[in-house]
Structure 1
Amino acid sequence: MILPQIKLPWAKTSELSANARLHWSKRYRKVKAQKAAADALARAARWHLVSIPDGAEVAVTVTICPPTRGSIPDDDNVISAQKGAFDALADVLKINDRRFRLQAPRRGERCRDGAIIINAEVA
């Protein structure tokens, strides 16, 4: 079963990647906002109505569309900066995020504000 595509807002990797050294309270606020945005977008795409069978995995393909300005961060930092969003998507699907199987990230075209495009399929 293929889930509807979700287009997440760009997260500043300098603030949310595993390499970031942000004060815990500032990081918490940013991750909380990221989770709220991902939750709202997933519910708008009706992911909350999908029933994932026990033991099934969700293959997730991430397309990275960096902002038009600035340097392009490496794929690892972009994926780690999306941890809060992945947690929210797992919560909407009512599964543990361990069941996500991330495919190799793809590079999309640069867009004005940047975006992370999520395509998921229940395997």
Structure 2
Amino acid sequence: MIELELPWPPKELSPNARTHWAKRSKVAKGYRTACHLLAKKAGLVTPAGRAMLLLEFVPPDRRRRDDDNMLASFKAGRDGLADALGIDDSRFVTRLRVSRETVPGGAVRVRISEFVEGEAA
């Protein structure tokens, strides 16, 4: 199992943000690149089959957030992880958790392991 911590997705990537498409695209590319580089630095090993992607969102504060919006905000980060692994992101089986803990600036804790068929997704 590989574990790494990625930065909290920028607010412009939230589905609730009313950001101009050009700015959103620029922010998404930057976040994707940052996640890709951090994943490469962590020395990710490409799983043979499908990959179990466990995401733990650790928010920057105690405000209530929807888990589906957090996952959508992380799309560029997920793409960066797939780039680092050299796979298509359709190979990910994703599980997510929202932590009760908070950290300054927020974080996304990622665990990647090989997906075993029959394993609870």
Superposed pair shares fold, TM > 0.5: yes
Match of 1:29, SS? helix
C-alpha separation in 1, matches of 2:22 and 2:46: 35
For the 8 Å contact 1:67–1:114, the answer to whether it is kept is yes
Q: How far apart are residue 108 of structure 1 and its match?
A: 4.4
Pair 1:10-2:2 in alignment: no
Which ranges of 4 or more aligned residues in structure 1 deviate by more than 6 Å? none
C-alpha separation in 1, matches of 2:108 and 2:100: 9
Pair 1:83-2:75 in alignment: yes
Q: How far apart are residue 19 of structure 1 and its match?
A: 3.6
User: What is the alpha-carbon root mean square deviation over aligned residues?
Assistant: 1.6
Match of 1:79, SS? helix
Matched to 1:10, the amino acid is: W
Matched to 2:47, the amino acid is: I
Match of 2:17 among 15, 20, 41: 20
Q: How far apart are residue 99 of structure 1 and its match?
A: 0.7
Match of 1:122 among 111, 114, 119: 114
* Equivalences, count: 115
C-alpha separation in 2, matches of 1:28 and 1:84: 10
Alignment CA distance shift 1:91-1:17 (3 Å): same
Q: Which position in structure 1 is the counterpart of 2:119?
A: none
Match of 1:66 among 52, 59, 70: 59
Pair 1:52-2:47 in alignment: yes
Residues 96-116 of structure 1 deviation map (CA, whole Å, 9 limit, x = unaligned): 101111114242410111101
Q: How far apart are residue 72 of structure 1 and its match?
A: 3.0
Alignment CA distance shift 1:42-1:108 (3 Å): farther
Provide the TM-score with structure 2 as the length reference: 0.86
What percentage of residue pairs aligned between the two structures are identical?
Answer: 33
C-alpha separation in 2, matches of 1:52 and 1:45: 15
Structure 1: unaligned runs, 5 residues or longer: none
Q: How far apart are residue 21 of structure 1 and its match?
A: 2.8
